[in-house]
Structure 1
Amino acid sequence: MNQAAYRMLISGQDRRLRAVLLRAVLRCFAFVYAAAVRCRNLLYQYGLIRSHAVQVPVISIGNITTGGTGKTPLVIWLCRYLSQKQIRCAVLTRGYKTTAGEMSDEPALLAKSCPGVQVVVHPDRVAGAEKALRDYQPQVLVLDDGFQHQRIQRDLNIVAIDATCPFGYDKLLPAGLLREPISELKRADAAIITRFDLADAQQASHIEQRIRDLAGPIPVARAVHRHTHAIQANGQPLPLEKLRTMKLFVYCGIGNPQAFMHCLQQDGFTIVGNCFFNDHHDYTMQDIKSIAAKAQHCGADMAVCTQKDWVKTAVFCRQIESFSFGAMALELEFAANAEAIEALIDQVIQRQAYKKYE
């Protein structure tokens, strides 16, 4: 089952008898998964499984649901913020289907977007932290996708909540998209509602209130994803104004492709077709040739993807001379309460400075 069909199934949009029966089966699996997750969380809560402390502050960026919450742009924003403060940081990431030291799409994008920031890929985040401290001497460690990873103690727990699907259909995997019970938001120190502009005012207010009901009086910020320009196959930027005069074909292999589409449409681009792959898709030259053929059939002037997809596809796209490819450069921009998030980060930095001189 592909990703789009799975979302239709768990969201209840597919109302065929087969889908109803399959949802019942998935709820049974979700019950077992929930029991395992609750047991694990209790073991950490009561110290029966040990969390490892490290020598420098740890800031975790994570989520409560799986797939496409805008976590990577948030990690990039945090690394740039620390760099502006003259703070050396390193990112700890598990990677996806990788071995230690190997770069997949998200780690490669992090490394490219944050020059000077070391990205350490290791399936064992404790071993990754030891490597980062030994080899790079960071002043702060950024734990990518770290909310569920409780083996490392953290000084600040920031959770990204996607406004387009904030609570994973209120069901745990595999019946929904929740990675753990929604009540575990109580562990968060702050929440950032991403893609805030894709929800209406009433929806956004409801999301924020529910976060506070679950997590208590923590800072809740609002953020949007802003496309700044397109990156052409030759590496040159293409202004958005020029792109708005063109017909675009969209392709991607990310957790929430519809959010990417909505963002492009909201920015005023003309979309004439699309091709979606599963998250972390391993592209081939044949995939790119197929995308080019579909785009040309739709009358598109250019096929565009996310920066994460571009990491994997650029080398193939440059070999297609008969059609234009590009990637949409994106940045996270705060719409409200950024100062509260920055204040929490500054407190973590200051505590480490005081500790250094004790």
Structure 2
Amino acid sequence: MDERLFLDVVSGRKTSLSAKMMRAVLWLVAPAYRGVMAARNLLFDVGLKRAHRSDVPVISVGNITTGGTGKTPVVAWMANWLQSRGMKVCLVSRGYRELQAGGNDELRVLEQLCPGVPHVQNRDRVAAAKEAVERHHADVIVLDDGFQHRRLHRDVDVVLLDATNPWGYGHLLPRGLMREPRSSLRRASIVVLTRVDQVDEQALQKLRNEVRQATNAPVAEVAFRPTQLRSITGATADVKSFANEKLLAFCGIGNPEGFRRTLRDSGIHVSDDAFVTFADHHHYTQSELMSLVDRARAKGVSAMVTTQKDLVKLDPAWTCTLPIWAVIIGAEVVTGLEALDSVLQEIANPKNARDPIANDRAS
């Protein structure tokens, strides 16, 4: 089952008999997934599985659903916050399929959003944390997408919930998009609601109440604001400069509807038949780019617009007869900044720095 069909099925958008049968099968499988996750978490909770401590504090930024909750701009915001306090920050992530020139989309985007911050990618996050300290002399690690990776001890667990789809269609994988049940939020140090500007106040208040029932952790709220447009050549432009232009949009991300809303809220109107989606982490080919150009020209558009994650996967050497612009997104803390500052300040406080010798004794 490809990603698009899977989302249509689990969301309920697809209502055919075959879709209903697929949902029934996925519903039957979901308890097995729940059992595996519950058993794994229990082993860590009671100490039968060991969490390895790094020599420096670790801040995890993660979620309880699959798909795009906006981790990348939040990770960048936190890295820049810590760096502005004089800390040597290193990002650690699993990493996905690498691009031809080295690195992958998330690494390249974070290089642009927080320049000068080293980034170690390794499936073994414990080894990556060790490299961050020994090679990059980090005194704090920001672990990207680490909530389920309990092998590496973290000092702060920041859990993101996308306000537009916080509970992954209400079911655990594979029936829905939830990696863990709501009750897992009790492990969170702070919960960050993202895309709060894309839902109405009634829905947002309902989500606040649901989070409060699941955890006593403080809550912050974040909106993602377009800061500028950046072309494949590195040129920049104001987002408003395309407000009245006819554009074709394309993306291969976990939450394409979030991108569509961002365009709309920025005054960039793209018709449904000029909004092209690919699977999350899709790697483009030159022929696909040419097909997009042909489609755009057939619709008489003047340029194409995409996400920053998609732009970094396009080879600048490819011939393209239409301008391609990416919307650069920044995280804006709408409410709860004091709570978020307080959680991070505990890490930034020099008295909380770890003693590597003491850590060795403890392990």
TM-score range normalised by the length of the shorter chain: over 0.9
Deviates more, 1:237-246 or 1:135-144: 237-246
Are 1:122 and 2:118 matched, yes or no?
no
CA shift for structure 1 position 138: 0.6
Deviations 1:204-256 (A, max 9, x none): 1111111111112x111111111111112331111122111311111000001
* Residue identity in the other structure for 2:77: W
CA shift for structure 1 position 315: 2.2
Counterpart position of 1:35: 35
Deviations 1:49-97 (A, max 9, x none): 1000111111000000001000111001001111111111101100113
The question of whether the paired residues in 1 share the 8 Å contact of 2:251 and 2:278 is answered with yes
Counterpart position of 1:54: 54
Are 1:153 and 2:153 matched, yes or no?
yes
Counterpart position of 1:265: 264
Counterpart position of 2:215: 215
Counterpart position of 1:6: 6
Number of paired residues? 354
Gaps of 5+ in 1: none
The question of whether the paired residues in 1 share the 8 Å contact of 2:347 and 2:353 is answered with no
Counterpart position of 1:22: 22
CA shift for structure 1 position 351: 5.8
Trace 1:86-165 onto structure 2 (pairs within 5 A).
Answer: 86-97=86-97, 103-165=103-165
The question of whether the paired residues in 2 share the 8 Å contact of 1:79 and 1:89 is answered with yes
Alpha-carbon RMSD across the aligned residues, in angstroms, is: 1.9
Q: 1:22 to 1:352 in 2, by over 3 A?
A: farther
The question of whether the paired residues in 2 share the 8 Å contact of 1:57 and 1:352 is answered with no
CA shift for structure 1 position 98: 5.2
CA shift for structure 1 position 330: 0.9
Counterpart position of 1:350: 349
C-alpha separation between the residues in 2 aligned to 1:297 and 1:215? 52
Q: 1:205 to 1:314 in 2, by over 3 A?
A: farther
* Residue identity in the other structure for 2:259: F
* TM-score normalized with structure 1 length: 0.95
Trace 1:237-256 onto structure 2 (pairs within 5 A).
Answer: 237-256=236-255
* TM-score normalized with structure 2 length: 0.93
C-alpha separation between the residues in 2 aligned to 1:152 and 1:111? 24
Counterpart position of 1:288: 289
Q: 3-state SS of the aligned residue for 1:312?
A: coil
Counterpart position of 2:310: 309
C-alpha separation between the residues in 1 aligned to 2:127 and 2:220? 32
* Residue identity in the other structure for 1:86: G
Q: 1:143 to 1:355 in 2, by over 3 A?
A: closer
C-alpha separation between the residues in 2 aligned to 1:313 and 1:163? 30
CA shift for structure 1 position 270: 2.1
Flag as ranges the 4+ runs of structure 1 deviating above 4 A.
351-356
Deviations 1:186-208 (A, max 9, x none): 10010111110111001111111
Counterpart position of 1:327: 326
* Residue identity in the other structure for 1:260: F
* Identity across matched positions, percent: 37
CA shift for structure 1 position 13: 2.1
Counterpart position of 2:276: 275
C-alpha separation between the residues in 2 aligned to 1:352 and 1:277? 47
* Residue identity in the other structure for 2:332: E
C-alpha separation between the residues in 1 aligned to 2:172 and 2:352? 40
Q: 1:258 to 1:220 in 2, by over 3 A?
A: same
Q: 3-state SS of the aligned residue for 1:271?
A: coil
C-alpha separation between the residues in 1 aligned to 2:338 and 2:315? 37
The question of whether the paired residues in 2 share the 8 Å contact of 1:170 and 1:182 is answered with no
The question of whether the paired residues in 2 share the 8 Å contact of 1:105 and 1:309 is answered with yes
C-alpha separation between the residues in 1 aligned to 2:186 and 2:289? 44
Gaps of 5+ in 2: 359-363
The question of whether the paired residues in 1 share the 8 Å contact of 2:239 and 2:327 is answered with no
Counterpart position of 2:361: none
